[in-house]
Amino acid sequence: MIPPAFDYAAPTSLSDALALLSQNPEAKVLAGGHSLIPALKFRMASPALLVDINKVAGLAYLREAGGWLAIGAMTREADLDRSALVREKYPLLADTARMIADPLVRNLATIGGNLAHADPANDHPATMLAYRAEVTAQGPAGARTIPIADFFTGPFTTSLAANEILTEIRLPARRAGDGGCYLKIERKVGDYATAAVAVQINVNAAGVCTSAGLALTNLGLTAIRCAAAEAALVGQPLDEAAIKAAAQRAAQAAEPVSDYRGSEAYKRSLVTTLTVRALRTALERARR
Amino acid sequence: MSTHHIKLTLNGETKEADVPARLLLVHLIREVFNLTGTHIGCDTTSCGACTVILNGRPVKACTVLAVQADGAAVQTVEGLAQGGQLHPIQEGFHQCHGLQCGFCTPGMLLTSAAFLAEHPNPSDDEIRWAISGNLCRCTGYMNIVKAVQYAAEKMRAASAQPAAAD
Amino acid sequence: MPEINGFGHSMKRKEDARFLQGKGNYIDDFKLPGMLWLDIVRSPYAHARIKSIDTSQAAKVPGVLGFITGRDLEKYNLHWMPTLAGDKQMVLPIDTVKYQSQEVVAVIATDRYTAADGVAAVTVDYEPLPVVVDPHKALQPDTIKVRDDKDSNRIWHWEVGDREGTAAAFAQAATIVREKIYIPRIHVASIETCGCLADWDGVNKRLTFYVTSQAPHVYRTVLALVAGHVGLSEENIRVVSPDIGGGFGGKVPVYPGYVLAVAASVLLGKPVKWIEDRSENLAADSFARDYHINAELAADQAGRIVAMRMDTVADHGYSDAQASPSKFPAGLFHIATGSYDFQKAYMQVDGVYTNKPPGGVAYRCSFRVTEAVHAIERMVDILAHERGEDPAEFRLRNFIKPEQFPYMSALGWEYDSGNYHQALRVAMDMIGYADLRREQAEKRARGELMGIGISSFTEIVGAGPAHQFDIIGLKMFDSCELRVHPTGKAIARFGTKSQGQGHETTYAQIIANELGIPAEHVKIEEGDTDTAPYGLGTYASRSTPTAGAAAAVAARKLRDKARKIAAHLLECAEDDLEWDKDRFFVKGAPGKAKTIQELVFAAYTNHPSDLEGGFETVHYYNPPNLTYPFGSYICVVDIDRGTGQVQTRRFVAVDDCGTRINPMIVEGQIHGGLTQGFAPAMMEEMQYDENGNLYGGTFMDYMVPTAVESPKWEVGETVTPSPHHPFGAKGVGESPTVGAPPAFANAVVDALWHLGVRHVDIPITAPKVWELLKQHGAALEE
């Protein structure tokens, strides 16, 4: 499988990269390349120009500041996976990074690419919805912040303009009582989710849920945030009854279709099961 | 289509080439530099037969453009043995019968070598997880896991030895 | 002098050095001066009329040099080719495509990138036609006819056994179980795809054809048969099969791309390379299995099996392109009476055409043995459960007893040797069977689902005796040519071709064992038809039973010659000499001895005047019977009631393949075969929708297991030598692939039987299990 011909540029500054995008409406940004290059090989994409941002300095980092964990968009999945900070304080993110594709792919694939590609089967979108993350888009006119809830506009489409680059993802810094979990059913390592659930909760000393984020992967045209399920948790003591009520609502929010990974009914049932199990784990982690 | 002059280190040796933008790294290695130990098994970044070590990390060379390797250090299976001495991972695969047809072997070796560099004392399950981006159709993976453990032990023993005086 | 390393030595493999250092020589590693590339335009439709082919845009792509269409081939009568099963298939279509991904146009260009651009620029206008993908529908009278050159979609009807006697036994039986069992279409999915490099020398009229072939000699003959009329004469065809990156049966058939590369090389006078990509490999290369089996098994009051009946539909796609021996259209499927002692059996099989790619190959399977073993092992388990019996006890009661060998099966096979009771008991001991049954009962009381599955298979490998076995008329013997050089070092060449089995080591050990030359000093060569003796190749676990036997016999012939030389040198009668490992000595005087090295040297320097000089021989071994490896596997699974996921907790495999030449290699074969049994049991399947579109055409959707999914195998052994093989060996490579799937299926059904589940078809995926749980009220909605 051979890609079609295209031009290539590897700017070393963000401004040069943005300028190239503005000048070439048929350009595509090349980040980790692990969605784009396979698409090129299958000739499902034929950009005139690839703007490789791997040589732009300063786009890969993890830092806590101002109440946020800020993640450079070019941070590799493998670096999320091996980060002690992520493992200790952001278990939902750690779980997610570890379940993306396979270990070799994770060495190049980036969190920014996973979000900007907006494949409904990608794992980070649900996780970022659960975290209530926000992202920074850099364009010719400067930077703007996009709440993650406004980012995904459809399958493979986002609110990024063609001449904008996603540069940073921010999620709320860990507070006491935070706990999260990502559970994914896949047929084998490297597969997209049959169904996956991202949950991020906060429980206070009394065991009452003070905030909840719950979202689903590959169960609709985009990642789905389950607002009703979240509402069923907030303000409630996080007991089995609350967990099950939330899981029922999550299953109602799912929009699965039958395919080779399973029937619509199976996938909906998985949402219930995974939500319950993910919430139990998140609760355990929140109490640590 | 743009062409690009690139310069990289391949198994420690400086190499230069003029490459069209779309040339895949795996084809640069195999067809321009004639190192055919790096194989091609799929088109979907699934099998890992094309694994090389790019700047210290194993990646699938079928999903990297040659031009992206400009300025990079690339290691292939041909660069594993040093001074006529097999790398412990190569020795492990031989001793433990970790290969049959040999087609996935270069990728398995490189993935395992990079993994052991960071995880000197892995469990069997950690090894299985680490090589889960490399498909083998012959061995059932049992002896590959043993081979990686063999190499791990050998590398631990070597690093425990005081450095030889020279 | 190095160790001799005969039988039983886990000698490290001689072939490893090159594979470990990137010096393997696979087909895509070949590069010849002036080499061109061939790429193929394929049909998106499973059945369509070709209205037009437009290559004008593609011709404008710089570096695109030419095209081949069916019309071009038709001029030379090369648009059809024979299959190894005696059917035929298109090389390229004239006006109609019959399956998705069928080859339509070949594009030849200067390099692989340009060839791909050329393929992308070719426009083919199709008129889609109705398709038939279900073989049962294909057998109905008013259906779409797949083949224009045939009267119906029924390729053949084949039956064996005693129909009336079997019916009578069923009429009197106390318990009868019936089940529909589907063995789905799967793919060998070797990590190396198929490919070739055709190099036509127009001056000397000679073709060198480098190709990923498990049967290079057969390829040479097929090429001569296909293209003899246009000047490809067999003495001028050299087939070279280099290192192969996995074969498993997929590199036995001749594919249209091979013929196209040869045609392109002849037309353009340049070497032409064609390497499939993964999608082409999965979508168009020969598949395996695809058997729809209606099975029935009957027992008497005492729980003894009395009769078996099977009615089967075999889906071959658009052509019967399997590589089965010509007398056996359903392969050796009638080994389906398995390891059990009963005398009434009958089966019928219908081969059917559908609008799917042609096949099917014997994927790590001696011609439909996987299908047979799955059917009988599932049915035996169902029968045991139906009677409320422990499936192990039921098997132990019904096994053929050790003293009954050689045993004539109800369907006509003479089993050479076996001890089935012992193999199962060893497996039960290894896994702690009784404890597991206790644990299962406790878990079941708590609502947890755990299953224990047994498979006690009998294999049939080593095709085969010349009176029964041929492929396109070529008798299925195999060969060894053994030459020992004056210094006592040897080269041996074979008609087989290793794809990872370790022939360079194993064959050397056979010769070492028989002739006393250290295995390290025996060089093994295969795969070059100019130098290797004729043989039918490596598949169906036949290398050790046939070519391995040939090696032993060849070595023994030379040992006989060595005896004559020893008698001459030691000035004694031949009868006074005795052989010990690597030397002849005079009986009663061990000091008076000549080593094999001394005797070989004398063959060149000081041989008796009445003896030919030199130390060489060739042997073509015609096996007197097949060999019948067997084993018992036990699998333990735990099922997640919430997700339907099945976790393999343990899997014990006790194999008996007779004498083990290199135990390390045998164990490696078993590990790999088990994973290739696990894969179709739990993960892999090629699925087609009603329009004949494939799902599973990339490694993203065709579920080859990684190290994470693949279970951890525990292996054991028993040794029951074959009485007719020169050193008692049987084949082993495919036993685990054949034996493992029913162990998984039996374990899952064992976990669910109390809920009312009787059967589940493989692959046993999580959604399938969940649907069963749901149907039977056992799904856990958290």
Kindly state whether residue A57 falls inside one of the protein's structural domains.
Answer: no
Burial of A4 from C-beta contacts in 10 A (0-12 / 13-18 / 19+): middle
Give the closest residue to C39 by CA, choosing from C61, C60, C68, C62.
C68
Sign of torsion over alpha carbons A23, A28, A31, A33? negative
Taking Cα atoms as reference points, which of C490, C462, C484 lies closest to residue C547? C462
Q: Whose structure tokens read 């698409």?
A: A39
Domain ranges of chain B: 3-79, 88-158
Contacts of C191 in chain B (CB under 8 A): 39, 41, 47, 49, 101, 103-104, 135-137
Q: How confident is the model at residue A288 (pLDDT cuts 50, 70, 90)?
A: confident
Out of C194, C365, C480, C635, which one is annotated catalytic? Answer: C365
Nearest CA in chain B to C194: B41
Tell me the chain C residues in contact with residue B34 when contact means C-beta distances shorter than 8 Å.
Answer: 31
Among B37, B43, B140, whose Cβ lies nearest the Cβ of C671? B140
DSSP letters of C308-340?
EEEEEEEE-TTSB-----TT-TTTTGGGTTTTB
Supply the DSSP symbol for B85: B
Check residue B61 and give its pLDDT. 98
What is the rounded CA–CA span in Å between residue A286 and residue A229?
18
Is any Cβ of chain C less than 8 angstroms from the Cβ of A276?
Answer: yes
Distance CA C432, CA C427 (A): 8
Cα–Cα distance list, A250 to A209, A217, A233, C740 (Å)? 17, 12, 11, 39
Q: How many CB pairs under 8 A join B and C?
A: 177
CB count in 10 Å sphere of residue C133: 22
Q: Please tell me if residue A30 touches chain C, with a CB cutoff of 8 Å.
A: no
Q: Do A265 and C774 touch (CB under 8 A)?
A: yes
Give this complex's ipTM: 0.97
Residue in C495, C467, C481, C454 with CA at minimum distance from that of residue C214? C495
Is A2 among the domain residues?
no
Chain C residue with minimum CA distance to B76: C22
Contact A102 C700 (CB under 8 A): no
Q: How near does any CA of chain A get to the CA of B49, in Å?
A: 11
Q: Which member of C644, C774, C782 has the closest CB to residue A276?
A: C782
**Cross-chain residue pair C24–B37, CB shorter than 8 Å:** yes
3-state helix, strand, coil in chain A (%, to 5): 35, 25, 35
State which of A115, A142, A172 marks the end of a domain.
Answer: A172
CATH of the domain at A278: 3.30.390.50
Residues 6+ apart with CB under 8 A from C571: none
- Tell me how close the Cα of B166 comes to any Cα of chain A, in angstroms: 37
Distance from CA of B162 to the nearest CA of A (A): 30
Contact A266 C771 (CB under 8 A): yes
- Residues C431/C441, Cβ–Cβ less than 8 Å: no
Question: Does the annotation count C365 as an active-site position?
Answer: yes
Question: How close, in Å, is residue A269 to chain C by CA atoms?
Answer: 7
Residues A159 and A217 in one domain: no
Do A143 and A210 fall into the same domain? no
Within this chain, domains C31-129+194-275 and C288-404+414-463+625-775 share the same CATH topology? no
Question: Is any Cβ of chain A less than 8 angstroms from the Cβ of B123?
Answer: no
Tell me whether residues B105 and C20 touch, CB distance under 8 A: yes
CATH domain C31-129+194-275 topology: Aldehyde Oxidoreductase; domain 3 (3.90.1170)
A-C CB pairs within 8 A amount to 71
Does residue A114 lie within any of the structural domains? yes
Partner-chain contact B137 C704, CB within 8 Å: yes
Task: Using an 8 Å CB-CB cutoff, list chain C residues near B135.
Answer: 191, 699, 704, 706
Helical H segments across C572-632, by residue range: 596-605
SS3 category, C390? coil
Q: How far apart are CA A224 and CA A120, in angstroms?
A: 9
Amino acid sitting at position C153: N
Q: Which residue of B has its CA nearest to A55?
A: B68
Neighbouring C-alpha atoms within 13 Å toward the C-beta of C493: 16
Six-digit token string for C275: 């390497």
**Token output for C546:** 């046939």
**Chain A interface residues facing chain B, Cβ-Cβ under 8 Å?**
1-10, 30, 33-34, 37-38, 40-42, 50, 52, 54, 78, 101-105, 107-108, 189-190
* Assigned token pair, A68: 């946020």
Nearest Cα residue in chain C from B43: C278
Choose the closest CB to C191 out of B36, B44, B137: B137
CB C20 to CB B90 under 8 A?
A: yes
Pairing outcome for strands C713-717 and C646-656: parallel
Asked whether C124 and C56 are in contact (CB, 8 A), the reply is no
pLDDT at B47 exceeding the cut of 70: yes
| Catalytic residue list contains C164 | no
Q: Are A237 and A143 in contact (CB under 8 A)?
A: no
CA-nearest residue of chain B to C715?
Answer: B142
Q: Which domain, by its residues, includes A265?
A: 178-287
Residue of B30, B102, B128 lying closest to C19 (CB–CB): B102
Looking at the 3D structure of chain A, how many domains does it have? 3
Q: Do A104 and B24 touch (CB under 8 A)?
A: no
Q: What is the reported pLDDT for B162?
A: 66
Q: What is the pLDDT of residue B165?
A: 45
CB C213 within 8 A of CB C301: no
Cβ atoms of residues C343 and C303 within 8 Å: no
Which whole number is the average pLDDT over B65-75? Answer: 98
CB contact under 8 A, B4 and A8: yes
Please give the CATH number for the structural domain made up of C16-22+478-621: 3.30.365.10
Contact between C304 and C398 under an 8 Å Cβ cutoff? The reply is yes
Do the bridges between strand A152-154 and strand C36-42 make them parallel or antiparallel, or are there none, so unpaired?
unpaired
Cβ-Cβ contacts under 8 Å, A187 against chain C: 683, 703, 765-766
Radius of gyration of the CA atoms of chain C, in A: 27
Cβ contact, residue pair C709, A5, below 8 Å: no
Measured between alpha carbons, how far is residue B162 from residues B157, C276, C511 in Å?
A: 10, 51, 45
Q: What is the DSSP string of C93-152?
A: -SSEE-STT-EEEEEEESSHHHHHHHHHH-EEEEEE------HHHHTSTTS--S-TTSSS
Q: Grade residue B166 by pLDDT with cuts at 50, 70 and 90.
A: very low
Cα–Cα distance for residue pair C307/C211, rounded to 1 Å:
46
Find the CB nearest A2 among C113, C708, C765. Answer: C113
pLDDT, position B163: 57
- The superfamily (CATH) of domain B3-79 is Beta-grasp domain (3.10.20.30)
| Residue C214 known to be catalytic | yes
Torsion of CA A234, A237, A240, A244, to 10 degrees: -20
Reading phi first (left if > 0) and then psi (alpha if -120 to 50, else beta), residue B84 is in left
Domain segments of chain C: what residues?
16-22+478-621, 31-129+194-275, 288-404+414-463+625-775
Contacts of A99 by beta carbon, 8 Å cutoff, 6+ apart: A123, A182, A184, A186, A196
Residue A43: left if φ>0, alpha if ψ -120 to 50, beta else—which one?
left
> What are A208-258's pLDDT values in tens digits?
999 999 999 999 999 999 999 999 999 999 999 999 999 999 999 999 999
| Rg of chain A in Å (alpha carbons) | 19
Closest residue by Cα to residue C536 from C311, C326, C320: C326
B1 CB neighbours in chain A (<8 A) are: 5-7
Chain A: residue whose CA lies nearest to C763 = A187
Nearest one of B102, B101, B105, B100 to B89, comparing CA atoms: B105
Q: Where does residue C447 fall: left (phi above 0), alpha (psi -120 to 50 degrees), or beta otherwise?
A: left
Smallest CA–CA distance from C674 into chain B, residue: B140
Domain B88-158: CATH class, spelled out: mainly alpha
Residues whose CB is less than 8 angstroms from the CB of residue A34 and which lie 6 or more positions away in sequence, other chains included: A101, A105, A108, A109, A113, B45, B63
**Same domain, yes or no: A108 and A151:** yes
Residue C357, token pair as written in the block: 């790619």
Q: Which of C289, C309, C364, C583 is catalytic?
A: C364
Which chains have at least 3 CB atom pairs separated by less than 8 Å from chain A? B, C
pLDDT along chain C (782 residues), means of 10: 95 98 98 98 98 98 98 96 94 98 98 98 98 98 95 97 98 98 98 98 96 97 90 95 97 97 96 98 96 98 98 98 92 98 98 96 92 98 98 98 98 98 98 98 98 98 95 95 98 97 98 98 98 95 95 98 98 97 97 98 95 97 97 98 98 98 98 98 97 96 98 98 98 96 98 98 98 96 76
Q: Which residue has the tokens 């980070």?
A: A124
What is the gyration radius of the CA atoms in chain B, in angstroms? 16
Closest by CA to C18, choosing from B51, A12, A51, B106, is: B106
Which amino acid makes up residue C70? G
User: Class of C288-404+414-463+625-775 per CATH?
Assistant: alpha beta
Q: Is C364 considered catalytic here?
A: yes
